[in-house]
Every structure is written in C-alpha cells, then in structure tokens.
Amino acid sequence: MALFDAVLELADDHLVLGHRLSEWCGHAPMLEEDLAMPNMALDLIGTARTLYDYAATLEGQGRTEDDMAYLRGEREYRNLLLCERPNEDFAQTMLRQLYFAAFMHPYWQAAAGGGDEVIRGVAGKAVKEMAYHIRHAGEWVIRLGDGTEESARRMKDAVEALHLYTGELFEEGAAEGVDALPSRAAIKPAWEATIDHIFGQALLSRPVVQYPQTGGRRGLHGESLGHLLAEMQSVYRAHPGATW
Amino acid sequence: MTVADLGILRDVAIVDGVAVAKVTPTYSGCPATLAIELAIETALVEAGFEARIERVLSPAWTTDWISAEGREKLRAYGIAPPEEASGSKLALFGEVTVHCPRCNSTATEKISEFGSTACKAQYRCTACREPFDYFKCI
Ligand SMILES: [Zn+2]
C-alpha cells in the first residue's frame, strides 16, 4: 500500500493548500488577485480530486474522493506543514505558493516519465499549471521584495516565518521506494536553483534554518489545520452522503 | 464552436453497441468538465445511442489541439487564441506577443495573468483600447 499512502500524501498537500488559497476569495488586495488565487486553488483542488479518486481505487474499500477529503480527522491528514500555514498577509501567501510550486514543477516533470499511467496523466497536466504558479508567485515575491520599505520588510518576515517548513518538502515519506513516483530528495537542487534565481532579484536570501519543522507526514500538525478542516468538512459532516 | 474544435473531444467510437466518447479536460480543476461531459452524453442519447463518457488524462490536453477553425471562431467571438510562446514558460515577466482580436494590433498589454476562467488571461489593446480575454498557451 506504499503507493496508496504516497498518493494520499500528495492529494492532502494539494487539497489543504488549495483550500488555504480559496480563503482569499473576496478578500484579496486587488480584483486581479481575487481572480488569481481562486484560479490557482482550482488547479490544486482539481489535482487533489484525481489523486483522491486514484487512492480510493488503489485501496479498493469502496471509499470515494469525498470520503477521503471530508471524513478524515487532522491526525489522518498527511499534508506538509508548509501547505497548512495560515495565509497571514499577501506576502506570506505568495511565498508559500512559490515554495510549493518550485518543488512540484520539477517533481511532476520527473513523474511524467514514470511507469504509472494515472500519475503520468496528472503530472502532464499539473506541470504546466505549476509553471504558471511559479511565474505568478515569483513575480510577486520580486515586486514586494524589491519594492517599498514596507513590502520588503513583509517579504523578509515571510521568509523568516516559512523557510523552516521547506525542509519537509524533501522527505521521502511513504513514497520511499515507490517506482511510480520520483525521489523527493533528488528535487532539491532544482528547487534551490529556482528559489535562488527569484530571491536574487527580490533582494532576499535563503536563511540558515536552526530548527526545521516536520511532522505533517506522520499526522503531527499545527493548531491551524484543525480549524481549516472544521470549516471545510462541516457541511459534509452535517449532511452525510449529500451530493451536489 | 464545438468541443471537437477545442480538442476536448478526443474520439468517439462504437464499442459493443455503445457510443463511447473520450474527453480530456483543459485544466485539472476546470469546473466546466462535468457540464461538457453531460452535454456530450445527452447529445448522443438524443441521437438514439446508448452512450458512455471516458475521461482521458494522458496525454494532457494542450492548446495545440485547438483546430485552425477553432482559433478563428475564438477570435470572431472576441477571445485572442493562444500564441506560440516566445521563450520558456517559466520566464519571469515573460513577454508573449498577443494580437488584439478586434483590430489585430500587437500593441497589447497584460492586465492579469488570470481571467474569468482558468484557461484565460486578461489583456488590453493600447491601439483600439479594447479589453479582451486571451486563451493562455499551455
Ligand atoms: Zn485592438
């Protein structure tokens, strides 16, 4: 069931980050971003749906994608801590998106040549979407980092707040030894190259992390994931089996 | 404009007496996918077939699959069809020359990377002042 667990981990990353982005809908600093963030959320949630559906098929216990998303508690969620970090300000949201997309783009590129047909299909689509997310988030990181005194301060604060969660991106998790999926550790040089390229223009630098935070893959989450799930799952749990 | 023009409908074949339509969504989260699949199924049933829809993810849909006729229909409707990207799709602040669907000028500028749907960006023409949707190249 290593493939099942690994697919579930990926699906959880995408759903949780997609839900976080969707929280901006109606609250973005400008109309264009009010369109951009829900659009990026749709990409992530669409990918999550296909992955949950595949995980349910692999499991063969009759669970559906909705059961996977709405009927698991926070200790059962396997998402990266980075993905669940609260939106805070726009700078943090854009940096979180850049960190994630800069990993997923080369990851899906590697997965697109793998031996599993469903994963290849997901990867072929997602790699194009992640290229857009890197561009969009990367351009904002540069604008803000090399912007006003205020925006530069906020961008530096964002790096301070989020960089300690990036090490978890490269932990193999359940995918260890699964042929259908690429090695996560092997993605690190590509990720660092993208981040350095953007940070160079944003007048930012990658900090040395003293106390890296991990645990998401083992179901050990921050307080905020529980709040996210409570909101996301409340309708489905109040009306079990409802369809829409 | 048809779903075949857009390259979303990949194939229709009779398999054991059932009309099987293969459909490839544009974006992972395209909310129109289900509506499109239902419309195809309805059309097949109304034409007297027993019908089934198969969603095909691999190979991934690309704007290259939009037919020449489809591109013309997009333009006529006021949506700029996808252009060939000049450089890397990862290039920051990457410049793509987009033609205005109204006056064909290349004096256009991007307003927003994301538009009213996942597949479109927002541009404006500085020659004729028309704001328009651009079908992003993926
Ligand atoms: Zn014009």
B36-71 pLDDT, tens per residue?
999 999 999 999 999 999 998 888 888 889 999 999
Q: What does each C-alpha distance from B35 to B41, B46, B50 come to in angstroms?
A: 10, 16, 19
Residue contacts between A and B (CB atoms, under 8 Å): 90
A120 contacts on B by Cβ (under 8 Å):
58
Please give the distance, rounded to the nearest whole angstrom, from the Cα atom of residue B104 to the centre of ligand 1.
Answer: 6
Q: Which two tokens stand for residue A123?
A: 């990867």
Closest among A72, A25, A27 to A48, alpha carbons compared: A72
Interface of B with A (CB under 8 A): 25, 27-31, 56-61, 89-94, 111-116, 118, 122, 136, 138
ipTM over 0.85: no
Q: Return the bridge partners of B132, or none.
A: B123
Q: Which of A35, A47, A118 sits opposite B28 (nearest CB)?
A: A47
- Sequence-distant (6+) residues with CB within 8 A of A238 are none
DSSP B69-137: HHHHHHHHHTEEPPPPPSS-TT-TT-------TTT--S-EEEEESS-SSTTEEEEEETTT--EEEEE--
Supply the CATH classification number for the domain A2-238. 1.20.1260.10
Q: Is-contact A70 A208, C-beta < 8 A?
A: no
Helix (H) or strand (E) holding B19: strand B18-23
Q: How far apart are CA A103 and CA A1, in angstroms?
A: 24
pLDDT-derived band at A179 (thresholds 50, 70, 90) equals: confident
The amino acid sitting at B85 is A
A44 contacts on B by Cβ (under 8 Å):
28-29
Query: In which residue are the tokens 């350095």 written?
Result: A196
Q: Which two tokens stand for residue B105?
A: 């000028």
For residue A242, give how far its alpha carbon lies from the nearest alpha carbon of chain B (Å). Answer: 18
Q: Which of B56, B60, B93 sits opposite A139 (nearest CB)?
A: B93
Q: What percent of chain A has pLDDT over 90?
A: 89
| Segments making up each domain of chain A, as ranges | 2-238
Task: For chain B, say whether A125 makes contact (Cβ under 8 Å).
Answer: yes
pLDDT given for residue B112 in this prediction: 85
A43 contacts on B by Cβ (under 8 Å):
27-29, 118
pLDDT-derived band at A58 (thresholds 50, 70, 90) equals: very high
For residue B93, give how far its alpha carbon lies from the nearest alpha carbon of chain A (Å). Answer: 7
Closest among A93, A198, A87, A208 to A146, alpha carbons compared: A198
Closest among A223, A215, A209 to A81, alpha carbons compared: A215
The pLDDT tens digits of the residues spanning A64-96 come to 999 999 999 999 999 999 999 999 999 999 999
Q: What is the pTM of this model?
A: 0.90
**10 Å Cβ neighbour count for A16?**
27
The amino acid sitting at A172 is E
- Sequence-distant (6+) residues with CB within 8 A of B45 are B51
The parts of chain B modelled with pLDDT lower than 50 are: 86-87
What is the maximum span of chain A, computed from C-alpha positions, in angstroms? 55
| Segments making up each domain of chain B, as ranges | 9-55, 67-135
Determine the length of chain A: 244
The pLDDT tens digits of the residues spanning A124-149 come to 989 989 999 999 999 999 999 999 99
Q: How far apart are CA B93 and CA B112, in angstroms?
A: 12
φ and ψ at B10, to 5 degrees? -90, -35
Chain mean pLDDT for chain A: 95
